[in-house]
Amino acid sequence: MAILLAGCVLPVVACDAMLVKRSTGEKLYREHCASCHGLDARGHTIRYMGHPRANLTDDDWKYGGGDSVAIQSVVLQGLVERHPSSLQRLQTKEVKEIANWVLQLRGESSP
Protein backbone atom coordinates (compact mmCIF):
# COMPACT_ATOMS: atom_id res chain seq x y z
CA MET A 1 0.00 0.00 0.00
CA ALA A 2 2.78 2.42 0.98
CA ILE A 3 4.62 1.66 -2.25
CA LEU A 4 1.45 2.20 -4.25
CA LEU A 5 0.88 5.53 -2.51
CA ALA A 6 4.48 6.63 -3.06
CA GLY A 7 4.14 5.63 -6.71
CA CYS A 8 1.18 7.97 -7.08
CA VAL A 9 2.37 10.88 -4.96
CA LEU A 10 6.04 11.10 -6.00
CA PRO A 11 5.44 11.74 -9.72
CA VAL A 12 3.00 14.53 -8.82
CA VAL A 13 5.51 16.18 -6.49
CA ALA A 14 8.34 15.68 -8.99
CA CYS A 15 6.31 17.16 -11.84
CA ASP A 16 5.38 20.13 -9.70
CA ALA A 17 9.04 20.73 -8.88
CA MET A 18 10.37 20.20 -12.41
CA LEU A 19 7.71 21.43 -14.78
CA VAL A 20 6.04 24.38 -13.13
CA LYS A 21 7.96 27.60 -13.62
CA ARG A 22 7.52 29.84 -10.64
CA SER A 23 8.99 33.28 -10.06
CA THR A 24 11.30 33.80 -7.11
CA GLY A 25 8.57 35.84 -5.44
CA GLU A 26 6.02 33.06 -5.78
CA LYS A 27 8.45 30.46 -4.44
CA LEU A 28 9.36 32.60 -1.45
CA TYR A 29 5.71 33.44 -0.82
CA ARG A 30 4.80 29.74 -0.86
CA GLU A 31 7.62 28.96 1.54
CA HIS A 32 7.15 31.77 4.06
CA CYS A 33 3.60 33.14 3.81
CA ALA A 34 1.15 30.67 2.26
CA SER A 35 0.69 28.52 5.35
CA CYS A 36 -1.22 31.38 6.99
CA HIS A 37 -2.30 33.61 4.11
CA GLY A 38 -3.12 30.84 1.60
CA LEU A 39 -1.68 30.13 -1.85
CA ASP A 40 -3.91 32.84 -3.33
CA ALA A 41 -3.30 35.29 -0.42
CA ARG A 42 -6.99 35.37 0.48
CA GLY A 43 -6.41 33.93 3.92
CA HIS A 44 -8.31 30.72 3.29
CA THR A 45 -6.20 28.53 5.51
CA ILE A 46 -7.29 26.20 8.27
CA ARG A 47 -5.49 28.41 10.74
CA TYR A 48 -6.81 31.80 9.71
CA MET A 49 -10.03 31.07 7.81
CA GLY A 50 -12.24 34.10 8.24
CA HIS A 51 -9.57 36.30 9.87
CA PRO A 52 -10.12 39.59 8.05
CA ARG A 53 -6.45 40.64 8.17
CA ALA A 54 -5.16 37.37 6.73
CA ASN A 55 -6.68 38.34 3.38
CA LEU A 56 -3.98 40.24 1.50
CA THR A 57 -6.11 40.77 -1.61
CA ASP A 58 -8.82 43.06 -0.26
CA ASP A 59 -8.65 46.79 0.45
CA ASP A 60 -8.94 46.42 4.18
CA TRP A 61 -5.59 47.16 5.84
CA LYS A 62 -4.55 47.58 9.42
CA TYR A 63 -0.85 48.15 8.74
CA GLY A 64 -0.32 50.67 5.94
CA GLY A 65 -2.08 50.62 2.62
CA GLY A 66 -1.14 47.17 1.30
CA ASP A 67 1.17 48.49 -1.41
CA SER A 68 4.60 46.96 -1.98
CA VAL A 69 6.40 49.25 0.48
CA ALA A 70 3.78 48.68 3.19
CA ILE A 71 3.96 44.90 2.80
CA GLN A 72 7.74 45.02 3.02
CA SER A 73 7.61 47.15 6.19
CA VAL A 74 5.08 44.82 7.83
CA VAL A 75 7.33 41.82 7.22
CA LEU A 76 10.76 43.30 7.88
CA GLN A 77 9.85 45.46 10.85
CA GLY A 78 7.91 42.68 12.55
CA LEU A 79 4.75 44.76 12.89
CA VAL A 80 2.46 41.72 13.14
CA GLU A 81 2.78 39.97 16.49
CA ARG A 82 1.63 36.65 15.06
CA HIS A 83 4.30 36.65 12.35
CA PRO A 84 7.19 34.32 13.13
CA SER A 85 10.33 36.32 13.99
CA SER A 86 12.19 34.37 11.27
CA LEU A 87 10.43 36.57 8.67
CA GLN A 88 12.52 39.54 9.81
CA ARG A 89 15.63 37.65 8.75
CA LEU A 90 14.54 37.58 5.11
CA GLN A 91 16.57 39.83 2.82
CA THR A 92 15.03 43.12 1.66
CA LYS A 93 15.37 41.86 -1.93
CA GLU A 94 13.45 38.67 -1.08
CA VAL A 95 10.64 40.54 0.64
CA LYS A 96 10.36 42.88 -2.34
CA GLU A 97 9.92 39.83 -4.61
CA ILE A 98 7.27 38.44 -2.22
CA ALA A 99 5.42 41.77 -2.18
CA ASN A 100 5.49 41.84 -6.00
CA TRP A 101 3.96 38.38 -6.06
CA VAL A 102 1.16 39.47 -3.70
CA LEU A 103 0.44 42.41 -6.02
CA GLN A 104 0.33 40.00 -8.97
CA LEU A 105 -2.15 37.80 -7.12
CA ARG A 106 -4.31 40.90 -6.73
CA GLY A 107 -3.93 41.61 -10.45
CA GLU A 108 -2.18 44.92 -9.74
CA SER A 109 1.03 44.23 -11.58
CA SER A 110 2.13 42.10 -14.51
CA PRO A 111 4.64 39.26 -14.24
User: What distances in angstroms separate CA 75 from CA 9, 45, 46, one per listed residue?
Assistant: 34, 19, 21
Determine whether 82 is exposed, middle or buried from the number of CB atoms within 10 Å of its CB (0-12, 13-18, 19+).
exposed
Q: Looking at 24, 35, 68, 104, which residue binds ligand HEC (CB under 6 A)?
A: 35
In the window 69-98, what residues touch ligand HEC (CB under 6 A)? 71, 74-75, 80, 82-84, 87, 98
106 is a site residue for ligand HEC (CB under 6 A): no
| φ and ψ at residue 22, rounded to 5 degrees | -120, 145
Contact residues: ligand HEC, CB under 6 A: 32-33, 35-37, 48, 51, 53-54, 56, 61-63, 71, 74-75, 80, 82-84, 87, 98
